[in-house]
Amino acid sequence: MDLEYFFNRATVREYSSQDIDNDTLNEMIEAACHAPTTGGMQLYSVVVTRDKAMQEKLAPCHFNQPMVTTAPVVLTFCADFNRFVAWCKASYAKPGYDNFQSLISAILDVTIFAQQFNTIAEMNELGCCYLGTTTYNAQEIAQVLNLPSRVIPIVTLTVGYPKHKEQFHTDRLPVEGIIHQEQYHEMNAKEVKNLYSHKESLDVNKAFTKENSKVTLAQVFTDVRYPKESNELFSKKFLDFLKIYI
Amino acid sequence: MDLEYFFNRATVREYSSQDIDNDTLNEMIEAACHAPTTGGMQLYSVVVTRDKAMQEKLAPCHFNQPMVTTAPVVLTFCADFNRFVAWCKASYAKPGYDNFQSLISAILDVTIFAQQFNTIAEMNELGCCYLGTTTYNAQEIAQVLNLPSRVIPIVTLTVGYPKHKEQFHTDRLPVEGIIHQEQYHEMNAKEVKNLYSHKESLDVNKAFTKENSKVTLAQVFTDVRYPKESNELFSKKFLDFLKIYI
């Protein structure tokens, strides 16, 4: 087995000034379309943002993460029932997709598509970074990108040629904590602490905990990065945007 | 660029009798864990079903699709906040993840992980099939696999060595219908019909329309494969299962 790329890949947040040729980008997107998709429906679209003025408009939707304006290409991957419903209506077929399961199908479709693109891009010398902020400000992104009804921004990738040659290490939990044989085996507190002990022992994570004036690494997640109040605020906003589905 | 695998991959539904070595499977899953994940949280788990009696129990949850019992391995990929919340509680950190955005993060995480596994498996001689039925019967699957609270089955892959050498063709829309430059351009009815005309013209799709006694291909989707009533029934079931998040 050749798993070298898969074990050594890492997110790239800093890009060189080299642009991405349009034919190259389109061919990668076309290849990604051959990823699995629910019933062959391809319930997704992607909006390409190269224009610097458009990137400036998108930036605040992503809390001004610098990659949005420093990457040559920003790709907003959208769950899309708009095109499929238009096809149904043009084909004497009555669509029934304004519901939660259909939304889920489209979210899975677009995420598989985005991840396939990410793999293709990374295997072909490009570097990418996912922006998890996309669903936080879906309404604002929809306005900037002129998204019609039934088109929902789900994930964003910033894409470019890496500025640096060196790779960052991607630290992951021991795989035994991820795989369950036949049935799920819930861990007790001691087993969970053991599972996370290597991650907690890394210098980068110790420094990260200290920088944020926290005692444990987990507190950085609960108090700083993904606190309850923000999660609830952005949940309310996104549910409001999704009201025809839920 | 080398895009050959990506353009030529296809879903595999029939498997040879060859088993998948456990070390091989685990190494592929470990490699897939290096896919991007929200904030490094790895909000997922995977349950491996090899035991035939367990596969028989899972089969009805997937409407008895034959792959569930004919594949050597069935992988149920789950969004998982259980382990992360346990770590928070063991680390003097107060988790706030019982909300919709956290659910979405975990769904994206597990889908990216599953798709990375799918790519790794396919690039290494295995064949896979996604079962989109996983969220239809999440409660029943959770019972069979003994999933605790905060572990939600999202996608299933059946995995094995392909029985046949020949590949099926994966028909896809022209990529111009998927890519939007700078802003979304909504198509009118004529443009949509043009976009789908190649798909509609394929013999396999014409036969499929006829077999289902429909006039248009779109009607096969709206009336047979994904009708409104089923979508709404399964939406209600899944929302009920997810009630702590929504």
DSSP A189-235: HHHHHHHHHHHHHSHHHHHHHHHTT-SSHHHIIIIIIS-HHHHHHHH
Q: According to the model, what pLDDT value does residue A73 have?
A: 98
Among candidates B104, B112, B118 on the partner chain, residue whose Cβ is nearest the Cβ of A135: B104
User: Which residues of chain A does B100 touch, with a Cβ-Cβ cutoff of 8 Å?
Assistant: 235, 238-239
Shortest distance, CA A25 to any CA of chain B (angstroms): 10
A166 has a pLDDT exceeding 80: no
How far away is chain A from the Cα of B184, in angstroms, using its nearest Cα?
A: 6
Separation of alpha carbons B179 and A65, rounded Å: 24
CB contact under 8 A, A6 and B116: yes
User: A207 — phi, psi (to 5°)?
Assistant: -65, -40
Which residue in chain A has the smallest CA separation from B194? A87
- Are B47 and A130 an interchain contact pair (Cβ–Cβ within 8 Å)? no
Are A218 and B34 a contacting pair at CB < 8 A? no
Strand blocks (E) in chain B:
44-49, 73-80, 127-131, 151-160, 179-181
The position carrying tokens 């498997």 is B15
Mean pLDDT of B123-139: 97
Mean pLDDT of chain B: 96
Please give the average per-residue pLDDT across B208-232, as a whole number. Answer: 96
pLDDT of residue A225: 95
Instruction: Using DSSP, state whether A127 is helix, strand or coil.
Output: strand
> pLDDT tens, A64-122?
999 999 999 999 999 999 999 999 999 999 999 999 999 999 999 999 999 999 999 99
Q: What's the gap in Å between the CA of B70 and the closest CA on chain A?
A: 16
Radius of gyration of the CA atoms of chain B, in A:
20
**Closest chain A residue to B96 measured between Cα atoms?**
A228
List helix spans (H) across A96-137. 100-123
Q: From the CA atom positions of chain A, what is the Rg in Å? A: 20
Q: Which residues of B touch A238 (CB under 8 A)?
A: 100-101, 104
Q: B204: distance to nearest CA of chain A, Å?
A: 13
Percent with pLDDT over 70 in chain B: 99
Q: In the block, which residue shows the tokens 């879903």? A: B11
What's the pLDDT tens digit per position in A3-14?
999 999 999 999
- CB contacts, 8 Å: B127 with chain A: none
**3-state secondary structure (DSSP) of residue B219:** helix
Q: What is the tens place of the pLDDT at every residue in A202-235?
A: 999 999 999 999 999 999 999 999 999 999 999 9
Does the pLDDT at position B69 exceed 80? Answer: yes
Which among A111, A133, A173, A241 is the top mutation candidate for probing chain B, defined by the most B β-carbons within 10 Å of its own β-carbon? A111
H or E element: which one contains B121?
helix B100-123
Tell me how far CA of residue A139 lies from CA of A241, B77, B100, in angstroms: 6, 30, 16
Confidence of residue A127 (pLDDT cuts 50, 70, 90): very high
**From the candidates B73, B183, B212, which should be mutated to test the interface with A, based on the most A CB atoms within 10 A?**
B183
Contacts across the A-B interface (CB distance below 8 Å)? 351
Taking 90 as the threshold, does the pLDDT of residue B41 lie above it?
yes
- pLDDT at A44 > cutoff 90: yes
Give the sheet arrangement for strand B179-181, strand by strand: A127-131, A151-160, A73-80, A44-49, B179-181
Q: Which residue of B has its CA nearest to A154?
A: B108
pLDDT given at position B1: 84
Q: Give the C-alpha separation, B97 to A222, whole Å.
A: 9
Give the per-residue pLDDT at B170. Answer: 83
Q: How far is A96 from chain B (nearest CA, A)?
A: 4
pLDDT at residue A168 greater than cutoff 80: no
Best mutation target among A22, A28, A29, A33 (most B Cβ atoms within 10 Å) is A33
Q: Can you name the residues that pair with A76 across neighbouring β-strands?
A: A47, A156
> Do the interacting molecules here have an ipTM over 0.85?
yes
Q: Which pLDDT band holds residue B58 (cuts at 50, 70, 90)?
A: very high
CB B241 within 8 A of CB B138: yes
Chain B: residue nearest A148 by CA? B186
Among B25, B169, B226, the strongest candidate for a mutation testing the A interface, having the largest count of A CBs within 10 A, is B226
Q: Pick the residue from chain B with its C-alpha nearest to A38.
A: B132
What's residue B2's pLDDT?
Answer: 87
pTM for this entry: 0.98
Tell me: pLDDT of A171 over 80: yes
